[in-house]
Amino acid sequence: MTRWLSRAYLASVYLLLYLPIVVLVVFSFNDSRTGYAWGGLSLRWYQSLFNNHAMVQAMWNSLWLALSAATVSTLIGALTALALHRYRFRGKKVLNGMLFVVMMSPEIVLAISLLALFLLVGIQLGYVSLLLAHVTFCLPFVVITVMARLSGFDERLPEAARDLGASDFTMTRTVLIPVIMPALMAGWLLGFTLSLDDVVVSTFVSGPSYEILPLRIYSMVRVGLKPEVNAVGTLLLVFSLVMLMLSQWILTRSKR
Amino acid sequence: MNKTLLSLHHLSKEFDGKTVLDSLDLEIYDGEFITLLGPSGCGKTTLLRLMAGFEQPDAGTITLSGVDLTHTPPERRPLNTVFQHYALFPHMSVFDNVAYGLKMEKRPKDEIRQRVREALAMVQLEDYANRRPHQLSGGQQQRVAIARAVVKRPKVLLLDEPLSALDYKLRRTMQVELKRLQRELGITFVFVTHDQEEALSMSDRVVVLKDGRIQQLGTPREVYERPANLFTARFVGETNFFPGTVTAVGENELRVDVLGLARTLRKPTFAVAEGQRLHVLLRPEDIRVLDPADADGLPGKIVERNYKGSTLDSVIHLADGTEVLASEFFDEDDPAFDYRLGEPVKVSWVDGWEWLLPEEVDPTPAEDRTVEA
Amino acid sequence: MKPSPMQQPFRTAVLILVWGWLLFLVLAPNLLVVGASVMSRDPARFLSLPLNLDAYRQLLDPLYLEVFLHSLYMAVMTTLACLLVGYPFAWALSRVGKQRQVLLVFLLIVPFWTNSLVRTYALKLILATNGLLNNALLALGWIDEPMKLLYTEGAVIIGLVYLLLPFMILPLYSVFDDLREELLMASHDLGAGRWATFAHVIVPLTLPGVLAGVMLVLLPAMGLFFVPDILGGSRNLLVGNVIKNQFLDARNWPFGAAASILLTLAMAFLLFAHKLSKRRLGEEGGA
């Protein structure tokens, strides 16, 4: 009885969590213009999406930004994780603490602090400011992913490599990097998705010279219901889902 | 003297169609230290959980001094458990852990303080009342778990492999400690273990379990020296099995042919007939290793010798390939003792030290012996 | 023998890069915000001297105080709703068979990877006056005319709960997953019934998860400005909306900075409470 009840409860919460997503996806294929009633199956919103030059440009901008932000944050994040894992240095706790604070603090706090910095230093709001901001909020997630991988690995492997004559750099390249490779890929995918989906930070640090997709969607949905949003939202959801599944696949495969 | 305290009657339990306990009967006496011994999956832990009330039997009854407890929830049974991994509440101090059960009984504060202090003194942890469980060593956590259970003055204390997480030396100490506690408190202890040495050294009675059935119930000495069947013989201690054939049946003795050796053995309690095949069991310490020139004994050669301090253990290969384990008390003045590897010897024993068992359809091959240390 | 920095160029380069990044893009900006909060408003150059506490005084302005309290109220309601739904959910989830649990946890992580803006918009399809919910209820005959669901306080709370529920469930699930069945058995064994066990064992042991969940829900629930933008209309603003307006529209940086420091302080307080509750369980090594 209790068992049955708890199953039913789990199922209904999942239903509520996924219902809006399902509705969105279904309505993206709705021919009706009003957006609320079903008017037959159609791909017209996808079509109008791709005929919209500004929209397509925003998509490319977003993709390029996510690609570069994920790559840079993976590079720096991996090096940070390696440094935290291997080296003893002063201020290690402070470094850890800063990463933790970045992850925990509300996005809006990070956003305004970066905006203040960019304006003060004179960095033009556009691709560069977006990239710096996105790398910063992706960084802790990459570090955590890589650290988790490093913590489960034999401490003696690097020592063995050094013992056999590898320099610190060679050892990192030939032993550590291959070990953390799955975590790097998973971290990259997570960074990519976080960057692609971000609204809060981007709202503050983007400029008119570089419009990205989430902000374009944001300006569309504030006013009312736009059927194109269903279509572009569905595309984004599917894209993120593929990324997530890829990342889970990489991580579970590497555990074996 | 042997007054029954806890009585288990026809207890059966299945999990997912697999029989774990099969119509089991057991009488537990007041004040005894009884051990449930068996390999993993034999049903000993399930039996303990049934007594504690964490599981309900599919059939059968549990009565305590005549009162039916079968469907009483654990919180209303006058039995307490010491869990395998102690199960100390990590968010409470040692004092609060021990006081928990008394608070549930809604005892006055003064009484709780008094009784907790006594219980902690009993396990020599008076000075640790304010520590948290994670600040204690494994042995100390173990003592807290015991104090927490006995402070409620249960009729029966159930102990679920309580020593399995401790290292060898600490285990020895805790065995003595538990024995002392049981004597002082006079509470009935039901102890679960898969370690036969532990079972033999601590218990008044041992219950050997396998596949949810009692294989043997008796004093440690009975179980060790007079195993009821092949399983018990194999599970409790090391044993050498020799095949024997009865050649003549006398009034009080038997003539038995053991691998070509004619011996006169004590007549067993089970019925025997001429020509019947049976097992001749000998514990390693009852085996004599003799000079090959000796007239009596089975020829073989030494393949392994292990010096164990007080004893010298040898493995001897007989001509037919049988392996014999011998454990002799070390005597450095005895020249005959000094066999080298590969040296031919003869293996024998003093008649009457053996134990006979009838042949049985043996479900467990010898290699499958699960003697977990 | 300790190698000098010159012998480990790699190590030195890594540390300089990492420290440089964090000092420039984390520490410096945050100090800037603290600095901005005590400076004066200047529409042209964002900030100017003299230093004063006007911005903090302005936080107590009845007009803004009301907005903040309303935002806090909505955030607290969101957190309570998440806790109420999430606590039994996490409990039930942790008691499901291990194999199925992997899939169910995966389904919880999905929202974390998908665009929250898009999902908030999807809610709008359901809650709108002529949206799915009203249409369904009308068709069932449960209501006679469409209810006004959108642009209400309730819609904002529903939106926040919908976005943040997984962030409450995941830490709760993690503590329930660690909760050993043996401890519950021990409690019963010592004479505690269901309620006593819940109050004395389950609640204290899951408290770190509750606090972590509260932290992960309460703070974003004050900051996610796009939720009221899409679902709430102009009367149901969050602290996040105020900060955004002050920075991007009103150009009152000191005030926006002060409001953001308010959020940071709330975070610090919650982090501290969380750490304390964990230490009580001895998970920090106790030292």
C182 lies within 8 A of chain B by CB: yes
Q: What is the mean pLDDT of residues A57-85?
A: 91
CA distance A233 to A227: 10
Of the partner residues A34, A105, A217, the one whose CB lies closest to the CB of residue C264: A105
At C132, phi and psi to the nearest 5? -60, -40
- Condensed to tens digits (0 to 9), the pLDDT of residues C84-105 reads 999 999 999 998 888 888 889 8
Residue of chain C whose alpha carbon sits nearest to that of B98: C190
CA distance A127 to A113: 18
DSSP SS3 for B315: strand
Query: Which amino acid, B26?
Result: L
Closest partner CB to C185 (pick from B54, B132, B133)? B54
Residue in C with minimal Cα distance to B105: C191
> Could you tell me if C247 and C33 are in contact, meaning their C-beta atoms sit under 8 angstroms apart?
no
Q: Does C205 contact B100 at a Cβ distance shorter than 8 Å? A: no
Please give the share of chain B, as a percent, with pLDDT higher than 70.
Answer: 94
Residue B291's pLDDT band, with cuts at 50, 70 and 90, is: confident
Calpha distance A125→C119 (Å, rounded) = 27
Please report which confidence band the pLDDT of residue A12 belongs to, taking 50, 70 and 90 as the band edges.
very high
Given an 8 Å threshold on Cβ–Cβ distance, is C113 in contact with A243?
A: yes
In this structure, is the dihedral angle defined by the CA atoms of residues B193, B198, B199 and B204, taken in order, positive or negative? negative
Q: Round to whole Å and give the CA distance between B293 and B297.
A: 10
pLDDT at position B331: 65
Residue of B nearest to C186 (CA): B87
* pTM of the shown model: 0.82
Spell out the residues 6+ positions from residue C195 whose beta carbon is closer than 8 angstroms to its own: none
User: Is chain A in touch with chain B: ≥3 Cβ pairs within 8 A?
Assistant: no
Residues A25-49: what's their mean pLDDT?
78
Rounded to an integer, the average pLDDT of B272-289 is: 85
Count of C-beta atoms within a 10 Å radius of residue B28? 19
Amino acid at B98: V
Beta strands in chain C (DSSP E): 40-42, 46-48
Contact C236, C77 (CB under 8 A): no
Find chain C residues with C-beta within 8 A of A193's C-beta: 113
pLDDT tens per residue across span C39-83: 877 766 666 777 777 778 888 888 888 888 999 999 999 999 999
Does the structure show a pLDDT above 70 at C247?
A: yes
Which of B52, B80, B91 is the closest to C205 by Cβ? B91
* Residue A241 predicted with pLDDT over 80: yes
Q: List, as ranges, residues 59-98 from A with C-beta within 8 Å of C.
A: 76, 79-80, 82-83, 87, 89, 91, 95, 98
Instruction: Output the six-digit token pair for B146.
Output: 């015991």
- Cross-chain Cβ contact C126/A19 below 8 Å: yes
Distances (CA, A) of C208 to A96, B10, B132, B292, C136: 21, 46, 17, 73, 41
Cα torsion for C231, C236, C240, C244, to the nearest 10°? 90
Handedness of CA B291, B296, B299, B304 (dihedral sign): negative
Cβ contacts of C77 within 8 Å, gap of 6 or more: C157
Can you tell me the distance from the alpha carbon of A182 to that of A249, in angstroms, rounded to the nearest whole number? 10
Residue C150 has pLDDT above 50, yes or no: yes
For residues C238 and C222, the answer to whether their CB atoms sit within 8 Å is yes
| Residues C141, B1: Cα–Cα separation, whole Å | 78
Say yes or no for a CB contact (<8 Å) between B152 and C190: yes
Percent of chain B predicted with pLDDT > 90: 35
Q: How far is C112 from chain A (nearest CA, A)?
A: 9
| DSSP H helices in B194-329 | 196-202, 220-225, 230-235
Assess whether pLDDT exceeds 70 at residue B363.
no
Who's near A241: CB < 8 A, 6+ residues apart?
C110, C113, C114
Span C256-262, mean pLDDT?
88
More confident site: C129 or B174: B174
**What number is the average pLDDT over the span A76-87?**
85
The nearest CA of chain C is from the CA of B80 a distance in Å of 6
pLDDT score for C45: 67
CA distance linking residue B278 with residue B272, whole number of Å: 9
Strand order in the sheet with B253-258: B261-266, B253-258, B240-249, B277-282, B355-358
pLDDT of A237 above 50:
yes
Query: What is residue A174's predicted lDDT score, i.e. its pLDDT?
Result: 79
Cβ–Cβ below 8 Å for A136 and C26 = yes
Q: Which residue of A has its CA nearest to C91?
A: A6
Instruction: Summarize the confidence of residues B323-346 as an average pLDDT.
Output: 75
C-chain CB neighbours of A18 within 8 Å are 107
pLDDT of residue C8: 67
Strand ranges, E, within chain A: none
Chain A contacts of C125, Cβ < 8 Å? 20, 23-24, 27, 35-36, 225, 230
Position C1 confidence tier, pLDDT thresholds 50, 70, 90: very low
Q: Identify the pLDDT of residue C46.
A: 67
- Over residues B104-132, the mean pLDDT reads 92
Q: Which element (helix H / strand E) includes A222?
A: none
Ordered DSSP codes for B203-272: -SEEEEEETTEEEEEE-HHHHHHS-SSHHHHHHSS--EEEEEEEEEE-SSEEEEEETTEEEEEE--SS--
Strand B156-160 and strand B79-82: the pairing is: parallel
pLDDT-derived band of residue B361, with 50, 70 and 90 as boundaries?
low
A83 closest CB neighbour out of C14, C36, C95? C14
Spatial contact of C255 and C41, defined as CB atoms under 8 Å apart: yes
Domains in chain B, ordered, with CATH?
Answer: 4-233 (3.40.50.300), 238-358 (2.40.50.140)
Q: How far apart are CA A26 and CA A237, in angstroms?
A: 13
Average pLDDT, chain B: 86
Q: What is the pLDDT of residue B1?
A: 55
Average pLDDT over residues B146-159: 92
Model confidence at A167: pLDDT above 90:
no
Mean of per-residue pLDDT scores for chain A: 85
Residue B290: helix, strand or coil by DSSP?
A: strand
Pairwise pLDDT comparison (A238 vs A37), residue with the higher score: A238
Angle ∠(B345,B350,B351) on CA atoms, nearest 5: 125
- Compute the nearest-CA separation of B11 from chain C (Å): 21
The CATH architecture assigned to C62-286 reads Orthogonal Bundle (1.10)
pLDDT at B371: 37
Which residue of chain C has the CA closest to B80?
A: C189
pLDDT value at residue C2:
44
Q: Taking residues A222-234, what's their average pLDDT? A: 81
Cα separations (Å) of A107 from A136, C214, C245, C260? Answer: 11, 16, 15, 10
pLDDT of residue B335: 54
* pLDDT above 50: residue B367: no
Location of structure tokens 């709705």: A30
pLDDT value of position B349: 83
Of C95, C104, C267, the CB nearest to A106: C267
Give the closest of C116, C122, C223 to A23, CB-based: C122
Answer yes or no: is pLDDT of B241 > 60. yes
- Select from C268, C20, C25, C267 the least CA-distant residue to A91: C20
Q: Which two structure tokens, joined as six digits, stand for C147?
A: 């209810």
**Domain range list for chain C:** 62-286
Cα separation, A48 vs C169, in Å, equals 39
Whole-Å CA distances, B249 to B255, B282, C71, C152? 6, 21, 98, 100
Residue C135 pLDDT = 80
Which residue in B72, B76, B91, B148 has the most chain C C-beta atoms within 10 A of its own C-beta, making it the best mutation to test that interface? B91
Nearest to B308 by CA among B323, B326, B290: B326
CB contact under 8 A, B87 and C196: no
What pLDDT was estimated at residue B337?
A: 59
A 28-57 residues inside an 8 A Cβ radius of C: 34-36
All partners of chain C with 3 or more CB pairs under 8 angstroms: A, B
Residue A247's pLDDT is 85
With 0-12 / 13-18 / 19 or more C-beta atoms within 10 angstroms meaning exposed / middle / buried, residue C121 is: buried
Domains of chain A: 1-41 (no CATH), 51-254 (1.10.3720.10)
Q: Where are the beta strands (DSSP E) in B98-165?
A: 156-160
Average pLDDT over residues B258-266: 83
**In chain C, which residue's Cα lies nearest the Cα of B49?**
C185
Is A36 a residue whose pLDDT tops 80?
no
The predicted structure's pLDDT at residue B147: 93
Chains that touch B (3 or more CB pairs under 8 A): C
CA distance C170 to C212: 9
HEC string of C137-154 equals HHHHCCCCCCCCCCCCHH
Please write the tens of the pLDDT for every residue from C175-230. Answer: 999 888 899 999 999 999 899 999 999 999 998 899 889 988 998 899 889 999 88
All partners of chain A with 3 or more CB pairs under 8 angstroms: C
Q: Which chain B residues are within 8 Å of C189, Cβ to Cβ?
A: 52-54, 74-75, 80-81, 149
Closest in C183, C189, C286 to B52, CB measured? C189
Longest dimension (CA), chain C: 84
B353 C-beta neighbours (distance < 10 Å), count:
16
C-beta separation of A25 from A232 below 8 A:
no
- Give the closest-approach CA distance of C191 to chain A in angstroms: 22
CA nearest neighbour of A107 among B87, C267, B97: C267
Lowest mean pLDDT among A43-57, B359-373, C153-167: B359-373
Is-contact B209 B42, C-beta < 8 A? yes
Q: Which chain A residue is nearest to residue C166, measuring alpha carbons?
A: A17
> Which of C89, C116, C131 has its CB closest to that of A197?
C116
Q: Which residues are bridge partners to B301 per DSSP?
A: B317, B344
For chain C, the distance separating the N- and C-terminal CA atoms, rounded to the nearest angstrom, is 31
Most C CBs within 10 A among B16, B55, B100, hence the mutation to make, goes to: B100
Residue C4 is predicted with a pLDDT of 44
For residue C134, list chain A residues with Cβ-Cβ distance below 8 A. Answer: none
Q: Between β-strands B205-210 and B33-37, what pairing exists: parallel, antiparallel or unpaired?
A: parallel
